[in-house]
Amino acid sequence: MTEKTEEKSLLREVWDALSFSEIRTAMRVALKHMFVKPVTFQYPREKRTIPDAHRGALGLLRYDDGTERCVGCDLCEVACPSRCIKVVSAENPERPLSRYATEFYIDITKCVFCGYCVEACPVNALAMTKMYEYSTADKRQLIFDKERLYEIGEKHIEDAKRYLYAHNQEKNDTESLQYRYKFPHQVEGLTPPQDS
């Protein structure tokens, strides 16, 4: 390098340091992107509705007559990849050979919102809702028990039904509304087989 170019580069470095050229360059890039119109996709007018594929907090559902749908089969617990569901079931003393969930817990901090538990449920007792805001300072409040899950299910029943319809878990017709997972005959009078 010649002495003249060396002197120019030294002066350039001093000028760049005094004039904060790196900061000016960074601000130029930031300002260039700040005033760009955002690009958003809009559905055509006739297709404005977004499918109900939401995956918020889980809720337990009841039948229209108020009876619990959950039969305590534990299939949701088995299907859960993160092992955040715990179901304790027992036999119903009023109806022999019929089970129900005595306790039901979901640890929302572990839930990955995959929907496998909803798909595994044979009676559509579980459904995803649009409840996304359940933050708290106490982590123990994010373990939802049976009462809280039913409360969420009742509060967001329309979202839960839309989720089940969208995922073909439940049909919105009279035949499906009458269909229940119950024994076809009364089993109270039956006696268990005796060992001979």
pLDDT of 56 reads 85
Residue 87: pLDDT band (50, 70, 90) is very high
> What's the start-to-end Cα distance of the chain, in Å?
108
- Chain-wide mean pLDDT for the chain? 79
Contact by Cβ (8 Å): 126, 106 = no
| Side chain identity at residue 93, one-letter code | P
Q: pLDDT tens across 177-187, in order?
A: 555 444 444 44
Neighbours of 35 (CB within 10 A): 6
pLDDT of 13 reads 84
Phi, psi of 166 (to 5 degrees): -65, -30
Separation CA 142–CA 107 (nearest Å) = 6
Q: pLDDT tens across 143-176, in order?
A: 999 999 999 999 988 888 888 877 766 665 665 5
Q: Considering the entire predicted model, what is its pTM?
A: 0.61
Task: Give me the sheet containing 143-144, strands edge to edge.
Answer: 85-91, 99-107, 143-144
pLDDT of 184 reads 41
Q: pLDDT tens across 105-155, in order?
A: 999 999 998 889 998 988 889 988 888 888 888 888 999 999 999 999 999
How are beta strands 58-60 and 143-144 bridged, if at all? Answer: unpaired
How are beta strands 143-144 and 99-107 bridged, if at all? Answer: antiparallel
Separation CA 73–CA 59 (nearest Å) = 17
Separation CA 51–CA 158 (nearest Å) = 14
Q: pLDDT tens across 6-28, in order?
A: 777 888 888 888 888 888 888 88
pLDDT of 59 reads 92
Contact by Cβ (8 Å): 129, 160 = yes
Sign of torsion over alpha carbons 62, 63, 67, 69:
negative
pLDDT of 44 reads 55
pLDDT of 186 reads 44
